[in-house]
Protein backbone atom coordinates (compact mmCIF):
# COMPACT_ATOMS: atom_id res chain seq x y z
CA UNK A 1 0.00 0.00 0.00
CA UNK A 2 1.64 3.21 -1.16
CA UNK A 3 1.76 5.93 1.47
CA UNK A 4 1.23 9.57 0.65
CA UNK A 5 2.85 12.36 2.63
CA UNK A 6 1.92 12.23 6.30
CA UNK A 7 1.85 8.46 6.47
CA UNK A 8 -1.61 7.99 4.94
CA UNK A 9 -2.30 5.86 1.88
CA UNK A 10 -4.16 6.92 -1.25
CA UNK A 11 -6.58 4.09 -0.52
CA UNK A 12 -7.51 5.62 2.84
CA UNK A 13 -8.50 8.90 1.18
CA UNK A 14 -10.58 7.10 -1.44
CA UNK A 15 -12.30 4.95 1.18
CA UNK A 16 -13.47 8.05 3.02
CA UNK A 17 -14.81 9.49 -0.24
CA UNK A 18 -16.64 6.26 -1.02
CA UNK A 19 -18.51 6.36 2.30
CA UNK A 20 -20.11 9.66 1.28
CA UNK A 21 -21.55 8.01 -1.82
CA UNK A 22 -22.42 4.64 -0.29
CA UNK A 23 -22.08 4.03 3.47
CA UNK A 24 -20.15 0.81 4.13
CA UNK A 25 -22.32 -0.73 6.83
CA UNK A 26 -22.98 -4.17 5.35
CA UNK A 27 -20.98 -7.26 6.24
CA UNK A 28 -20.40 -6.18 9.84
CA UNK A 29 -22.51 -5.67 12.93
CA UNK A 30 -22.90 -1.91 12.63
CA UNK A 31 -25.77 -0.79 14.86
CA UNK A 32 -27.75 2.41 14.49
CA UNK A 33 -27.15 4.23 17.78
CA UNK A 34 -29.05 7.47 17.31
CA UNK A 35 -30.65 9.71 14.68
CA UNK A 36 -30.99 13.38 15.55
CA UNK A 37 -31.09 16.69 13.70
CA UNK A 38 -30.23 15.09 10.37
CA UNK A 39 -27.29 13.14 11.86
CA UNK A 40 -27.14 9.32 12.00
CA UNK A 41 -24.57 7.60 14.22
CA UNK A 42 -23.64 3.93 13.90
CA UNK A 43 -21.35 1.90 16.12
CA UNK A 44 -19.43 -1.36 15.80
CA UNK A 45 -17.92 -3.27 18.71
CA UNK A 46 -14.15 -3.68 18.46
CA UNK A 47 -13.68 -7.09 20.06
CA UNK A 48 -9.98 -6.58 20.77
CA UNK A 49 -10.56 -3.57 23.01
CA UNK A 50 -14.21 -3.93 23.98
CA UNK A 51 -14.73 -0.38 22.72
CA UNK A 52 -16.76 0.92 19.80
CA UNK A 53 -15.88 2.33 16.41
CA UNK A 54 -18.27 5.00 15.17
CA UNK A 55 -19.51 6.19 11.80
CA UNK A 56 -21.43 9.41 11.46
CA UNK A 57 -23.46 10.48 8.43
CA UNK A 58 -25.45 13.67 8.01
CA UNK A 59 -25.93 17.15 6.61
CA UNK A 60 -24.88 20.45 8.14
CA UNK A 61 -27.03 23.18 6.65
CA UNK A 62 -25.78 26.67 5.85
CA UNK A 63 -22.14 25.65 6.12
CA UNK A 64 -20.23 25.20 2.86
CA UNK A 65 -17.79 22.26 2.47
CA UNK A 66 -14.68 24.43 2.06
CA UNK A 67 -15.59 26.56 5.07
CA UNK A 68 -16.30 23.47 7.18
CA UNK A 69 -12.94 21.92 6.28
CA UNK A 70 -11.14 25.21 6.99
CA UNK A 71 -12.77 25.54 10.41
CA UNK A 72 -11.99 21.92 11.28
CA UNK A 73 -8.31 22.41 10.42
CA UNK A 74 -7.93 25.74 12.25
CA UNK A 75 -6.47 24.66 15.61
CA UNK A 76 -6.21 28.19 17.01
CA UNK A 77 -9.85 28.92 16.22
CA UNK A 78 -11.03 25.63 17.71
CA UNK A 79 -9.72 26.75 21.10
CA UNK A 80 -12.34 29.50 20.94
CA UNK A 81 -15.42 27.40 20.16
CA UNK A 82 -14.72 23.89 21.54
CA UNK A 83 -15.28 24.01 25.30
CA UNK A 84 -13.51 20.68 25.84
CA UNK A 85 -10.13 21.84 24.51
CA UNK A 86 -7.60 22.40 27.26
CA UNK A 87 -4.61 22.75 24.92
CA UNK A 88 -4.21 22.39 21.17
CA UNK A 89 -1.29 23.23 18.90
CA UNK A 90 0.80 22.00 15.98
CA UNK A 91 4.53 21.31 16.16
CA UNK A 92 7.16 20.25 13.65
CA UNK A 93 8.71 16.92 14.69
CA UNK A 94 11.20 15.03 12.50
CA UNK A 95 10.03 16.87 9.41
CA UNK A 96 6.33 16.20 10.04
CA UNK A 97 3.58 18.44 11.41
CA UNK A 98 2.20 16.82 14.55
CA UNK A 99 -0.86 17.91 16.52
CA UNK A 100 -0.94 17.95 20.33
CA UNK A 101 -4.44 18.01 21.85
CA UNK A 102 -5.46 17.86 25.52
CA UNK A 103 -9.15 17.23 26.23
CA UNK A 104 -10.95 18.21 29.42
CA UNK A 105 -12.64 15.32 31.23
CA UNK A 106 -15.20 15.78 34.01
CA UNK A 107 -13.97 15.60 37.62
CA UNK A 108 -12.70 13.31 39.12
CA UNK A 109 -11.31 11.77 35.92
CA UNK A 110 -7.95 12.75 34.47
CA UNK A 111 -7.78 14.71 31.24
CA UNK A 112 -6.73 12.85 28.09
CA UNK A 113 -4.21 14.01 25.54
CA UNK A 114 -3.43 13.03 21.97
CA UNK A 115 -0.40 13.27 19.71
CA UNK A 116 -1.39 12.65 16.12
CA UNK A 117 -0.67 13.15 12.45
CA UNK A 118 -3.27 14.89 10.33
CA UNK A 119 -3.56 15.51 6.61
CA UNK A 120 -6.11 17.24 4.40
CA UNK A 121 -6.66 16.54 0.71
CA UNK A 122 -9.06 18.43 -1.56
CA UNK A 123 -10.10 15.96 -4.25
CA UNK A 124 -12.03 16.26 -7.51
CA UNK A 125 -13.86 13.04 -8.33
CA UNK A 126 -15.87 13.17 -11.53
CA UNK A 127 -16.78 16.78 -10.86
CA UNK A 128 -17.48 16.26 -7.17
CA UNK A 129 -15.24 18.36 -4.94
CA UNK A 130 -14.58 16.41 -1.75
CA UNK A 131 -12.49 17.51 1.21
CA UNK A 132 -10.93 14.60 3.14
CA UNK A 133 -9.12 14.91 6.46
CA UNK A 134 -7.37 11.91 8.00
CA UNK A 135 -5.84 11.64 11.47
CA UNK A 136 -4.12 8.90 13.46
CA UNK A 137 -2.17 8.71 16.69
CA UNK A 138 1.61 8.66 16.65
CA UNK A 139 4.47 8.79 19.12
CA UNK A 140 7.06 11.56 19.26
CA UNK A 141 9.85 11.84 21.88
CA UNK A 142 9.51 15.62 21.72
CA UNK A 143 5.92 15.32 23.00
CA UNK A 144 6.22 12.95 25.92
CA UNK A 145 3.49 12.00 28.36
CA UNK A 146 2.57 14.50 31.05
CA UNK A 147 1.96 13.88 34.73
CA UNK A 148 -1.73 13.72 35.62
CA UNK A 149 -2.86 13.37 31.99
CA UNK A 150 -3.59 10.01 30.32
CA UNK A 151 -2.16 9.65 26.81
CA UNK A 152 -4.53 8.21 24.22
CA UNK A 153 -2.36 5.87 22.15
CA UNK A 154 -5.04 4.43 19.86
CA UNK A 155 -6.82 7.11 17.88
CA UNK A 156 -7.94 7.33 14.27
CA UNK A 157 -10.40 9.51 12.46
CA UNK A 158 -11.46 10.26 8.91
CA UNK A 159 -13.70 13.04 7.71
CA UNK A 160 -15.12 13.55 4.22
CA UNK A 161 -17.15 16.60 3.22
CA UNK A 162 -18.92 17.62 0.02
CA UNK A 163 -21.76 19.90 -1.00
CA UNK A 164 -25.31 18.81 -0.18
CA UNK A 165 -26.42 20.42 -3.45
CA UNK A 166 -27.68 23.50 -1.64
CA UNK A 167 -25.84 25.78 0.79
CA UNK A 168 -24.77 23.07 3.22
CA UNK A 169 -22.41 20.14 3.56
CA UNK A 170 -22.87 16.39 3.38
CA UNK A 171 -20.57 14.81 5.96
CA UNK A 172 -19.11 11.39 6.75
CA UNK A 173 -16.95 10.84 9.83
CA UNK A 174 -15.28 7.69 11.17
CA UNK A 175 -13.93 7.75 14.71
CA UNK A 176 -12.18 5.41 17.12
CA UNK A 177 -10.12 6.00 20.20
CA UNK A 178 -9.13 4.10 23.30
CA UNK A 179 -9.19 6.63 26.15
CA UNK A 180 -7.53 4.26 28.63
CA UNK A 181 -8.31 4.10 32.32
CA UNK A 182 -11.73 3.38 33.73
CA UNK A 183 -14.34 5.36 31.81
CA UNK A 184 -17.93 5.01 33.11
CA UNK A 185 -20.34 3.57 30.55
CA UNK A 186 -22.64 6.61 30.97
CA UNK A 187 -19.86 8.90 29.79
CA UNK A 188 -19.09 6.73 26.75
CA UNK A 189 -22.79 6.63 25.84
CA UNK A 190 -23.14 10.37 26.35
CA UNK A 191 -20.10 11.10 24.18
CA UNK A 192 -21.55 9.07 21.32
CA UNK A 193 -25.23 9.99 21.56
CA UNK A 194 -24.95 13.63 22.58
CA UNK A 195 -21.30 14.64 22.35
CA UNK A 196 -20.88 13.98 18.61
CA UNK A 197 -24.12 15.72 17.47
CA UNK A 198 -23.37 18.64 19.80
CA UNK A 199 -19.82 18.88 18.44
CA UNK A 200 -21.13 19.04 14.87
CA UNK A 201 -23.69 21.69 15.83
CA UNK A 202 -20.99 23.70 17.59
CA UNK A 203 -18.77 23.40 14.52
CA UNK A 204 -21.61 24.58 12.25
CA UNK A 205 -22.10 27.59 14.55
CA UNK A 206 -18.36 28.19 14.50
CA UNK A 207 -18.51 28.32 10.69
CA UNK A 208 -20.90 31.27 10.83
CA UNK A 209 -18.69 33.11 13.33
CA UNK A 210 -15.61 32.27 11.23
CA UNK A 211 -17.13 34.17 8.33
CA UNK A 212 -17.69 37.17 10.58
CA UNK A 213 -14.12 37.18 11.91
CA UNK A 214 -12.66 36.98 8.40
Assess if residue 32 is contained within a domain: no
Assess if residue 121 is contained within a domain: yes
User: What is the count of structural domains for the chain?
Assistant: 1
Assess if residue 116 is contained within a domain: yes
d(CA 172, CA 169): 10
CATH number for position 113: 3.30.530.20
Assess if residue 118 is contained within a domain: yes
pTM score of the predicted model: 0.91
Provide DSSP, 29-49. T-EEEEEETTEEEEEEEETTT
Range of the domain at 187: 64-158+179-211
CA dihedral 11, 14, 20, 24 (to 10 degrees): -30
Flag the least confident range among 16-20, 48-52, 102-106, 170-174: 48-52
pLDDT score of 68? 95
Question: pLDDT tens digits, residue range 14-23?
Answer: 999 999 988 8
Assess if residue 164 is contained within a domain: no
Assess if residue 48 is contained within a domain: no
Assess if residue 167 is contained within a domain: no
Q: How far is CA 129 from the centre of its chain?
A: 20
Assess if residue 27 is contained within a domain: no
The pLDDT of 118-128, averaged and rounded, is: 92
Amino acid sequence: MELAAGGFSEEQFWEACAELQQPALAGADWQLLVETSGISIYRLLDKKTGLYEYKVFGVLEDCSPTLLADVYMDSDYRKQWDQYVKELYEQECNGETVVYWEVKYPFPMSNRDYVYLRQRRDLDIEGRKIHVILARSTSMPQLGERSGVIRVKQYKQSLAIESDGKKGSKVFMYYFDNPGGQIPSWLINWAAKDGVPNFLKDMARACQNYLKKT
